[in-house]
Structure 1
Amino acid sequence: MTESESVIYRVVPKCACSTIGQILYYSDHGRFFEGDIHDSKEGLHKWAQEVSQEPISRNVLGQRTYAFTCVRNPYTRVLSSFFDKICGIQRNGKRYRGNLVPRLVYDYGIEVGGEDGQQEFDQIKSFRRFLLFVRDTIRFRRPMEPDIHWSAASGHVSTFIVNGGRYNKIIWTEAFNDGMQGVLDAIETPHPVDLAAIPRFNESEGHGPKRAHPVEDYFDDLSMHLIYEIYKRDFDLFKYDFENPANKMPIGEIDLDEVHAKLGD
């Protein structure tokens, strides 16, 4: 939430969250945060900061403050997680979550592009094996709990509703400018934001190897079955096209009443 309490944003990992965080920071302070916005300790209210919990709770439960979130096509989101978190070296210079990648290499036969993530490897074969791991974590919670970067977006979105919040808008990463402009038009900010002039803060860019194939090449029949098993609610609620992995764009309008009804249990 902005310190001015102009807007509340429910973060969903791998859905333009770095850019959105910087826009909110800028809207209050007239400048961007130096560095990764996820590292900021001032300038934004965050639930992880104890001092922020009271104002966030007050605004969420009061439902007086405009609230939004951002979602993304499950096919491209899980692919992005693979290349960034599994194949990539993180900004601390290490592999994500310590022994996670060596364990995947050993248990699932995944290749990750060598020590630096930049060597050639069979991206399609490794990604499909990663999908088996994702399914195991989400369905069986083995060999670990699901990670926030590949657990379903609907799960992230639902916690806000279950805890007493209500969304005014859910925007798509794929139509980001239109959606974010709608948010900015609905709120009053201490500093005006010109979306056309805002850079994209893709903090995961360059962590891992470049995707070598079109999105649809990574998903055969089995992969699509696994994706639907894991992300069925994301496809249904956020109106993405399960039948065609090549189509990243939504195929309908999000029904906020449906989202609140189905994710509020």
Structure 2
Amino acid sequence: MGFPGTWMTESESVVYRVVPKCACSTIGQIMYYSDHGEFFEGDIHDAQGGMHKWALEASQGPITRNVKAHKSYSFTCVRNPYTRILSSFFDKICGIQRNGKRYRGNLVPTLIYKYGIEVGGEDGKQEFDQIASFRRFLLFARDTIRWRRPMDPDIHWSAMSGHISTFICNGGRYDKIFWTESFNDGMQEVLDNIETPHKVRLDKIPRFNESEGHGPKRLHPVEDYFDDLSKHLVYEIYKRDFDLFKYDFENPGNKMPIDEIDLDEVHAKLGE
């Protein structure tokens, strides 16, 4: 299985397990900058060099050796499950992607046909009932995760604990898991624990939100999208995420965590 979704600086200063929709573009650019003193031109997910990525065959040996020996500081970043699934809906389902097309080809037409969702027309810019469509999308997301139909779950809405566990199950150990919601504090702690060829000043780093502007703007507060049924579906999908990363299931309007992450608990429960 190896270490899918794992990135490492060429200098091997730090190892990062990517979790989609959790500031991964910004984190990747910080890692790139820390080695090269400049940002990658374009979306860091498209970079085919300048950083080790598990998806690049030549990187798999160096990543495996490093992670199994725990030679470098290893970390990942998580996000409130309510805001993460909402972001996935507006970006991946309603939005037009970088290539000018809909995400995953026939995915959106399938959703419109089978689940009755709306996405704001051909260009994603027309008005539609965001709340009703999102709740129908939630049913679809649950179906993909619970029964793998009408398709396998997508990385952007599959549980964070699933992404994070592969690193542990194959012999890795995290030194830090921090929250997107207090990004600067968490990322600074990572930087304080590593030596990089180029110094990173977080206050000078822009946010690389590659999904911003893809889809329609969210018109309502987060909590308006989640009625009792929606909350039940979210808990069914993301129970481990709420429990391990200490988010508030009861109140979708509270995006902040309610307790500290216990790394030993995460390793024990996700390493089973």
TM-score, length-normalised on structure 2?
A: 0.97
Residues 97-118 of structure 1: per-residue CA shift (max 9 Å, x gap)? 0000000000000000000101
2:126 to 116, 119, 125: 119
User: Structure 2: how far apart are the matches of 1:106 and 1:221?
Assistant: 25
Alignment partner of 1:231 out of 230, 235, 238: 238
How far apart, CA to CA, are the structure 1 residues paired with 2:271 and 2:85? 24
Q: Distance in 1 between matches of 2:70 and 2:171?
A: 8
Task: Give, in whole Å, the separation in 2 of the partners of 1:203 and 1:60.
Answer: 28
Amino acid of the structure 2 residue aligned with 1:134? A
Query: Could you tell me which residue of structure 2 aligns to residue 204 of structure 1?
Result: 211
User: Equivalent of 1:50, from 48, 51, 57?
Assistant: 57
Q: Is 1:81 equivalent to 2:108 in the alignment? A: no
Deviation at 1:64, TM superposition (A): 1.8
Counterpart CA distance in 2 for 1:64 and 1:21 is: 19
Measured in 1, the distance between the counterparts of 2:195 and 2:70 equals 16
Aligned to 2:113: 106
TM-score (norm 1): 1.00
Opposite residue 91 of structure 2, the aligned amino acid is D
Distance across 1 between alignment mates of 2:46 and 2:148:
28
**Structure-to-structure mapping, 1:1-265, within 5 angstroms:** 1-265=8-272
AA aligned opposite 2:246: K
Pairs aligned (count): 265
Q: Structure 1 CA distance, aligned partners of 2:44 and 2:209?
A: 11
- Listed as ranges, the gaps of 5+ residues in structure 1 are none
Deviations 1:24-69 (A, max 9, x none): 0000000000000000011000000010000000011001210000
Q: What is the alpha-carbon root mean square deviation over aligned residues?
A: 0.3
Q: Secondary structure at the match of 1:45?
A: strand
* SS of residue paired to 2:16: strand
Counterpart position of 2:4? none
Equivalent-residue separation in structure 1 for 2:162 and 2:125 (angstroms): 32
Contiguous gaps of at least 5 residues in structure 2: 1-7
> How many angstroms apart in 2 are the aligned matches of 1:18 and 1:64?
24
Q: Give, in angstroms, the shift of residue 142 of structure 1.
A: 0.5
Q: What secondary structure, in the 3-state scheme, does the structure 2 residue paired with 1:67 have?
A: strand
Tell me the distance in 1 between the aligned counterparts of 2:169 and 2:127: 44
**Amino acid corresponding to residue 172 of structure 1 in structure 2:** W
Q: Specify the SS of the correspondent of 1:209.
A: coil
Hey, what's the Cα distance between the residues in 2 that align with 1:95 and 1:64?
41
